[in-house]
């Protein structure tokens, strides 16, 4: 699918989500019968060796930066098993912990991390997760990071419904005063046991949902970072190193790669990134584009950020597309706090 056609479909999905349109599917019904054998085979191979344990990464990071009278930054993670960090054994290896450690180092302030992500969650669980986050109006996060979408594809959730729930979550968090960064749907075509034609369809569905998610998020005042096939080349070269033991979830190295891509956008959303980095850099093919086109380009290139720029333009809302330089983060273990655990953890699911 070309970038322009992906932009058109993503715009249609986002419009359906915004105005209560019908269920635009991600995979054509005619293809489902041909895929049943592939799905059964993939399910037998994916998930073997999965560990039910999800490390509890909530707590305080960056104690060395503590200053009397200055409160810590509050970072909250929402989403599915990727946000929860399923597949690794130590809290410091989860993407939430890596982001908290990196944010503390950049801000030179402690960061209080709370993780309400639920393994197995689809986008409709974000309603519950946001309610948990906003239950205490005195502890609204400074920034929320959401990673969601893979289960929407594998559970055949209509894209319009998926985007509607995500956009609603972003709107509620932004209205409460939190900045929001969304890691969009990863490219399920990189999962090693999945064969053709399921691999091709999974990739197409993943990228289409990611583009539609981007439009919905940006229109609500959030920012997105495309996860896409961020780990694709590394998976192809070192699948045993960057996949976890279940051949589905990332390993510690895989999560670190994703966290390095998301961290600059988290810092930029909080005004912590250098001012000269906020201007478009033509040498990195950055610039202002209609939001649907920016969303389609981001879905095609992992690690790309999209943020709102102008509410109106010749072709509707415009967005700033950025390809930020990634920053390596050093893992640290959390110091437990009152909000250390996830909202309602589950050992099962994706």
User: Which pLDDT belongs to residue 242?
Assistant: 39
Overall average pLDDT of the 242-252 stretch: 55
Cα distance between residue 109 and residue 103, in whole Å:
8
pLDDT digit string, tens, across residues 185-232: 988 776 655 566 666 777 788 889 999 999 999 999 999 999 877 655
Phi and psi angles of residue 199, each rounded to the nearest 5 degrees, phi first: -60, -45
Q: What is the pTM of this model?
A: 0.83
**Strand ranges (E), 297-346:** 305-310, 318-322
Q: Which residues pair with 316 in a beta bridge?
A: 314
Task: Name every residue whose Cβ is closer than 8 Å to that of residue 166 and which is 6 or more positions away in sequence.
Answer: 123, 126, 146, 148, 182, 213, 216, 217
Which pLDDT belongs to residue 279? Answer: 85
What are the distances in angstroms from CA 305 to CA 149, 215, 297? 17, 12, 10
- Please give the pLDDT value at position 238: 47
Query: Which one is the CATH code of 3-23+55-322: 3.40.50.2300, 3.40.50.1110, 3.40.50.510, 3.10.20.30?
Result: 3.40.50.1110
DSSP label at 47? T
* Predicted pLDDT at 312: 64
The pLDDT of 116-124, averaged and rounded, is 93
Cis peptide before 197 (omega within 30 of 0): yes
Q: 278 pLDDT band (50/70/90 cuts)?
A: confident
Instruction: Give the mean pLDDT of the chain.
Output: 79
Q: Quick one: pLDDT at residue 315?
A: 61
- Residue 6, pLDDT > 70, answer no
Inter-axis angle of helices 291-300 and 3-18, to 10 degrees?
Answer: 120
For Cα atoms 105, 106, 109, give the angle at the middle one, nearest 5 degrees.
65
Tokens of 27: 């995979």
Residues annotated as part of the active site: 81, 246, 249
Which pLDDT does position 54 carry in this prediction?
A: 82
Secondary element (H or E) of residue 242: helix 239-242
Domain residue extents for the chain: 3-23+55-322
| DSSP of 252-301 | HHHHHHHHHHHHHHHHHHTT-S-GGGGS--GGGT-EEEEHHHHHHHHHHS
CA-to-CA distance for 337 and 74, rounded, in angstroms?
12
């Amino acid at each position: 699918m070309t970038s322009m056609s992906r932009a058109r479909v993503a715009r249609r999905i986002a419009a359906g989500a915004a105005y209560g349109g019908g269920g635009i599917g991600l995979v054509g019904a005619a293809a489902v019968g041909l895929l049943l054998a592939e799905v059964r085979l993939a399910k037998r191979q994916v998930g073997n060796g999965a560990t039910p344990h999800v490390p509890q990464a909530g707590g305080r990071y960056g104690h060395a930066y503590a200053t009397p009278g200055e409160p810590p930054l509050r970072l909250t993670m929402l989403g599915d098993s990727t946000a929860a960090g399923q597949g690794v054994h130590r809290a410091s290896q989860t993407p939430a912990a890596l982001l908290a450690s990196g944010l503390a180092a950049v801000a030179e302030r402690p960061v209080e991390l709370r993780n309400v992500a639920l393994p197995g969650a689809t986008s409709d669980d974000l309603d519950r997760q946001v309610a948990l986050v906003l239950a205490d109006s005195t502890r609204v996060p400074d920034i929320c990071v959401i990673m969601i979408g893979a289960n929407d594809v594998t559970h055949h959730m209509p894209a319009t419904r998926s985007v509607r729930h995500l956009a609603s979550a972003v709107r509620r968090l932004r209205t409460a005063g939190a900045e929001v960064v969304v890691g969009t749907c990863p490219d399920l075509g990189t999962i090693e046991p999945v064969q053709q034609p399921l691999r091709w369809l999974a990739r197409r569905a993943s990228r289409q949902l990611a583009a539609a998610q981007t439009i919905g998020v940006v229109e609500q005042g959030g920012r997105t970072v495309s996860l896409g096939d961020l780990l694709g080349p590394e998976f192809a070269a070192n699948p045993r190193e960057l996949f976890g033991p279940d051949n589905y979830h990332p390993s510690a190295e895989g999560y670190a790669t994703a966290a390095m891509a998301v961290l600059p956008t988290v810092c930029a959303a909080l005004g912590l990134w250098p001012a000269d980095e906020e201007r478009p850099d033509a040498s990195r093919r950055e610039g202002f584009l209609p939001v649907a086109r920016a969303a389609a380009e981001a879905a095609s290139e992992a690690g790309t950020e999209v943020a709102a720029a102008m509410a109106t333009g010749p072709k509707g809302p415009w967005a700033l597309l950025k390809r930020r330089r990634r920053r390596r983060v050093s893992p640290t273990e959390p110091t437990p706090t009152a909000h250390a655990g996830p909202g309602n953890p589950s050992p099962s699911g994706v």
